[in-house]
């Protein structure tokens, strides 16, 4: 059995997966502001699971990480800093753990579902913030910066701003007073997609993905704006840039924990269960 932990800015999802990658148990809780409280809450969840022994596992966490030392350097909008999360989780679950940025973990999960069709998959999660992950031939590209939408600069109202500042879920709520779930009119979605397209074309030009998968809370409503976004991106099309396919995530809510399973299998393929 495998353990996957998705540490997001607002909630933590913990899942037990079997050898075939099927979730057999899961639980979630609000992400605490204090790291020590998070560990206690996680211990409590672990104690409630029927499965107590794991071959290996992984944790996907928002923000910048130190993969070599298993440290969450700066966890997105959380006040956590330099948290030794890999070692702490290995103690809780008594198995080797891998650590990765949550968007990259989700990218791996979605890329594995598309591996027979695409070799170069870009995953963009649009929720509170904007996360980005690139997977090439089934392997996460760790050279892509962890901050995602914060590090992508775009033009907006004659100023250069971070893409996340104008196109994230938080930015949408701040501007329109509504969450993506409440937006149904085409005019609003067209304005949102106009800002989304600015960042997407930047990523397309540099990374040249074959397909872009959109996930996250805003990604959940892809059916409402998918065609509008494709049209907005196409406005930037030039002969030197080949526009990729644009699809919604197949497992937007659980993509990270499924990615935890995939990464654990890749990283500890020869590990014995504890």
Residue 63: strand, helix, or coil: coil
Q: Is residue 194 part of a domain?
A: yes
**Comparing C-alpha atoms, which of 130, 118, 154 is closest to residue 250?**
118
Same domain? 80 vs 136:
no
Give residue 152's domain range: 106-248
Separation CA 227–CA 269 (nearest Å): 40
Report the CATH number at residue 114: 3.30.420.40
Residues 219/187, Cβ–Cβ less than 8 Å: no
Same domain? 73 vs 118:
no
Q: Is residue 272 part of a domain?
A: no
Considering the entire predicted model, what is its pTM? 0.90
Domain count across the chain: 2
From residue 89, alpha-carbon distances to 96, 116, 189 in Å are 9, 33, 41
Residue reference for tokens 């962890």? 146
Q: Is residue 274 part of a domain?
A: no
Encode pLDDT of 82-125 as tens digits.
999 999 999 999 999 999 999 999 999 999 999 999 999 999 99
**Comparing C-alpha atoms, which of 152, 184, 157 is closest to residue 168?**
152
Same domain? 77 vs 162:
no
Residues 180/223, Cβ–Cβ less than 8 Å: no
Encode pLDDT of 218-237 as tens digits.
888 999 999 999 999 999 98
Percent of the chain with pLDDT over 70: 98
Separation CA 192–CA 188 (nearest Å): 6
Same domain? 46 vs 111:
no
Tokens of 64: 């910048």
Amino acid 271: pLDDT: 47
**Apex 166 CA angle, 211 and 163, nearest 5:** 50
Average pLDDT of the chain is 93
Same domain? 18 vs 149:
no
Encode pLDDT of 25-62 as tens digits.
999 999 999 999 999 999 999 999 999 999 999 999 98
């Amino acid at each position: 059995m495998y353990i996957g932990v998705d540490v997001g800015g607002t909630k933590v999802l913990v899942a037990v997966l079997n050898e075939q990658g099927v979730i057999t148990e899961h639980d979630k809780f609000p992400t605490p502001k204090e790291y020590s409280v998070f560990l206690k809450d996680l211990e409590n969840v672990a104690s409630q699971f029927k499965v107590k022994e794991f071959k290996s596992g992984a944790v996907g966490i928002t923000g910048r990480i130190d993969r070599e030392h298993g440290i969450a350097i700066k966890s997105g909008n959380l006040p956590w800093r330099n948290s030794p999360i890999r070692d702490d989780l290995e103690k809780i679950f008594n198995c080797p753990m891998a650590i990765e940025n949550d968007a990259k973990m989700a990218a791996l999960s979605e890329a594995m579902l598309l591996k027979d069709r695409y070799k170069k998959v870009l995953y963009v999660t649009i929720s509170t913030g904007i996360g980005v992950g690139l997977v090439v031939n089934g392997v996460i590209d760790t050279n892509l910066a962890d901050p995602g939408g914060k590090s992508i600069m775009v033009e907006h109202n004659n100023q250069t701003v971070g893409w996340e500042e104008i196109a994230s879920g938080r930015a949408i709520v701040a501007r329109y007073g509504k969450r993506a779930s409440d937006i149904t009119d085409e005019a609003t979605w067209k304005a949102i997609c106009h800002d989304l397209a600015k960042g997407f074309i930047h990523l397309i030009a540099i990374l040249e993905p074959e397909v872009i998968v959109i996930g996250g809370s805003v990604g959940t409503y892809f059916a409402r704006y998918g065609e509008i976004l494709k049209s907005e991106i196409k406005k930037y099309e030039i002969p030197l840039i080949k526009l990729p396919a644009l699809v919604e995530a197949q497992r937007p809510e659980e993509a990270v924990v499924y990615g935890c399973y995939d990464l654990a299998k890749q990283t500890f393929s020869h590990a014995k269960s504890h």
